[in-house]
Chain A
Amino acid sequence: MHKLLTDDPGGKMMLLGNEAIARGALEAGMAFAATYPGTPSSELSLQFFQISQESDLYFEYSTNEKVAFEVAAAAANTGVRSMAIMKHVGLNVAADALMTLAYVGVKGGMVVLTADDPFMFSSQNEQDNRYYAKLSGLPMVEPSSVAEAKDLVPYAFDLSAKLQEPVLFRTTTRINHSTGVVELGKIPPRHPKGDFKKDPLNLVTVPAVSRRLHVKLLEHYKEAQTLAETSETNFIDGDGRWGIICNGVSYNYVSDAVAELNSKDKIRVLRIGFSHPMPAALIKDFLKGCDQVLIVEEGEPYMEEAVKAMAQEEGLTLPIRGKADDLFTRLYEYNPAQVRGCISRYFGIKDDSPEMLDLSDVPELPQRPPTLCAGCSHRATFHEVRKAAEGLATIYPTDIGCYTLGLLPPLSAADFLICMGSSVGTAGGFSETTDKKVIAFIGDSTFFHSGIPGLINGVFNNHNFTLVILDNGTTAMTGHQPHPGVDMSRLNMEGYGQVDIEAVVRAIGVPHVTVIKPYKVQKSIDAIKEAIAFEGVSVVISKEVCALYANTLKLPKRKPFRVGEKCVDHKDCISSLACPAFYIWNDRVRIDANLCTGCAVCAQICPEKAILPVKKSA
């Protein structure tokens, strides 16, 4: 049995934040969940995927976040408790659906999980999704700890059911990827089937309907504000004339700092857990009891601006500060010492934390940057494209996935990236305004996610670019989730369809389509040369299963390779491929047989043919 299905109310368990949220959803009676995987939210969906295989929970990996949001919205409109799960930038993809579902509302309960990523541990930006709550008019809740994350999910579902609106549940990486002790509650029975009652004058958003629905949304907003005023998720710790208002993980750093600075009797802390609509009366009352206030929030000055406006409404002139050159930054995630330092400076409290070490005499250390795995098929394809395009002025728009790592030398196969699917759309633009050869890269899962409209656009507008689809048979970056191109029977799972990428590309009408096997180096280079010589849109599908995923699937292993006697040590292999299975021993190139997957790409590019398969006895 999945550990999150453990029926032990009152029992304690160590859980990862994402596991705790999943458990919270089960305790809320959630019966339906959909996602497109994205770090830091990915492990949350993994729990649902596993649980759905042994229970009546419905879960799907949808093609993108907008679709995930839409299927969950429909489920919630049949009265089924549903959840849509995505990383922060995923909500940009789903934003169109979000904005108008706020008008339509839901019947059951619906929670939209947005996992923000301050510091961009694994993201392209660090946008603050609290503004989506403000933009859509929907309620938002934010936990500060793993234990609270679990408890806040049922709260969010009940809130949603009460207001008949989806509720945004915002986490940050340090919630999703922290581990803590949670106390288990009861798991009620799920109700995976609902009913849909026709009601087009409230559910079909033509202008005349939406004009009324906007009024309804504002009424719900008002009701949410009333609930926020007395919500136990907004609470005050400590006492004193100095005030701190904070949210999320910042609350942890504030609490620890106040304790370490022995200031519990001087500083009063208001923790905001129900962060939209903000509890205005509660905050105004808090401000009246303070001589000066500090706002501690990662990201944008979302609360700071609101609190300052509230002070103005009350005619209060006390100092209220947060983001400033001498206090908090809008950049990156916060940490305990940084928060303690700002509190001590702002209120003038002595901080006698241990001194930092002087590290000026520590030598520069070699880096360990993330790199494509040994035997990764992307490395082969990048090398082949670079060879095929030798002598050409090129632009390489790329996309989001493991292959983004192709930006590092020696592969250097990434020139432009903004978001999921942008490789194809930007390729069209570059091809119109430059005379350079545009060769774009996109992964299989990302192609399904948002690459297809860009490709259709290229064909329709007769752009001139080559799109290389790196088809490794899985969503590798986020942990090998399936996508519509995956043969689910290989995972012993039934009841799925399968969409063939080549068939889709041909059906779009791409005039030049080739499929290559990237481990066959010369053949692939020749095919890519032809594709890039073609005027118009050409597509190369590079098909080879992810080397890590091949292990999971228990595919037959290839023999590893070794460097033989013929090696003359010009290190072409290392300097053009940089496969991590290579290492230098006594100034000679060697191959780590434990890392080598036997892809044989280096053996094919070695001019001396000095790289040979390891014989069994060797």
Chain B
Amino acid sequence: MEKKRLIIVAVGGQGNLLASSVLGEAALLAGIPIRMSEIHGMAQRGGVVESALLFGDAKSTIISDGEADVLVGFEPAETLRALGRCNAATVVITNTAPLMPFTVNIGQGVYPDLGELRKLIQQKTARLIAFNAAALAKEADNVLGVNMVLLGALIQTGVLPLTVDQVKEAMTRKTKKRFLESNLKAFQLGFDAAEAA
């Protein structure tokens, strides 16, 4: 089975690990080989959390620079920071709502210009899907649903060998019952946003 490599980058607390776990469960349901890894440890609240997911015939659980088939960024500056993982054929999906790093708040760094950020990613990769996932999560009555919005967009691209039904079933199994409805709504809004992009 063809290998697909996905990198998800986020800021601690954005629900990256839950998104990975839903994708893992969906792959298990679909009978697709899956391995993933994530960075724990000193990545506390507000730090960068990166997950690597490998679908298909591979043994590695990490993804080198230049190797990602698809990059999903939950925060625009973090998407740009992870650009080295991409190559000219990579599809990039990013939320455009920034989460200011604390270093910027105390004047130790400058947040990149969002227009320039888009242009840079567009120039270097095959396709960029960029939209305000935080706004869509809010629209789904689910401010913590940025992860599910971006999951919807990811599945819409068809890069991964997973169907909408498999991912929705995995969401049923892996997310909390009382959030399921709003998670499914968030997923759909993200799916539609990617379709329109």
Interface residues of A, Cβ cutoff 8 Å to B = 12, 14, 39-40, 121-122, 144-146, 173-174, 177-181, 249, 251-253, 255-256, 259, 335-338, 353-359, 361-371, 373, 574-575, 578, 580, 582-584
Q: Is the CB of B59 within 8 A of A121?
A: no
Interface residues of B in 9-37 (CB under 8 A from A): 11, 20-21, 24-25, 28, 33-37
20 residue pairs of the A-B complex, CB under 8 angstroms, read A12-B28, A14-B25, A144-B59, A145-B59, A145-B61, A174-B61, A174-B62, A178-B61, A179-B20, A180-B36, A252-B59, A354-B88, A359-B84, A363-B112, A365-B80, A366-B110, A368-B46, A371-B46, A574-B106, A582-B105
Query: For A357, what are the chain B residues with a Cβ–Cβ distance below 8 Å?
Result: 66, 83-84, 86-88, 124-125
Are A121 and B39 touching (Cβ within 8 A)?
Answer: yes
Which residues of chain B come closer than 8 Å to A337, judged between CB atoms? 64-67
Q: With A368-B11, A583-B100 in contact, is A177–B39 under 8 Å at CB?
A: yes
**12 further interface pairs, Cβ-Cβ under 8 Å (given A335-B64, A371-B102):** A145-B35, A146-B61, A177-B37, A178-B61, A180-B35, A337-B65, A355-B87, A366-B109, A369-B47, A369-B103, A574-B105, A580-B46
Q: Which of B77-131 contact A (CB under 8 A)?
A: 77-78, 80-81, 83-84, 86-89, 100-112, 116, 120, 124-125
Could you say which of A12, A251, A361 contacts B59, with CB atoms under 8 Å apart?
A: A251
CB distance from A547 to the nearest CB of B (A): 10
- The answer to whether B48 touches A368 (Cβ under 8 A) is yes
Report B173 CB to chain A, min CB distance, Å. Answer: 10
Rounded to whole angstroms, the CA-CA distance of A181 and B42 in the bound complex is 26
Given the complex, which residues of A lie within 8 Å of B67, measured CB to CB? 336-337, 353-354
By a CB distance below 8 angstroms, the chain B residues around A371 are 44, 46, 102
Task: Give the residues in chain A near B159, CB-CB below 8 Å.
Answer: none
B89 touches A366 (CB 8 A): no
Given A336-B64, A355-B66, A366-B104, also A178-B83 (CB < 8 A): no
B40 close to A (CB within 8 Å)? yes
* B158, chain A: closest CB distance, angstroms: 20
Of A253, A336, A575, the most chain B CB neighbours within 10 A belong to: A336
CB of B45 within 8 A of chain A? yes
Give the docked Cα–Cα distance between A14 and B37 (Å).
12
B63 interface contact, C-beta 8 A: yes
Q: Is the CB of A356 within 8 A of B66?
A: yes
How many residues belonging to B are interface residues under a CB distance threshold of 8 Å? 60
Q: With the chains together, A40 CA to B81 CA distance in Å? A: 25
How far apart sit A361 and B21, CA to CA, in the bound complex (Å)? 35
| Contact pick for B41, options A39, A256, A335, A583, CB 8 Å | A39
Residues from chain B with a CB closer than 8 A to the CB of A179 are 20-21, 24, 35-38, 61
Min Cβ gap B26→A in Å is: 10
Q: What residue of chain A has the Cβ atom nearest to residue B66's Cβ?
A: A356
Interchain CB contact under 8 A, A363 and B116: yes
| Whole-angstrom distance between the Cβ of A401 and the nearest chain B Cβ | 11
Chain A nearest Cβ from B116, distance in angstroms: 7
Instruction: Looking at the assembled complex, report how far the CB atom of A25 sits from the nearest CB atom of chain B, in whole angstroms.
Output: 21
Contact yes or no, B88 A580, CB < 8 A: no
Do B84 and A356 have beta carbons less than 8 Å apart?
yes
- Do A366 and B35 have beta carbons less than 8 Å apart? no
Q: Which are the 4 A-B pairs with shortest beta-carbon distances?
A: A366-B109, A122-B41, A337-B64, A252-B59
Q: Which residues of B contact A252 (CB under 8 A)?
A: 58-61
- In the assembled complex, the CB of A72 is this many whole angstroms from the nearest CB of chain B, namely 25
A362 touches B83 (CB 8 A): yes
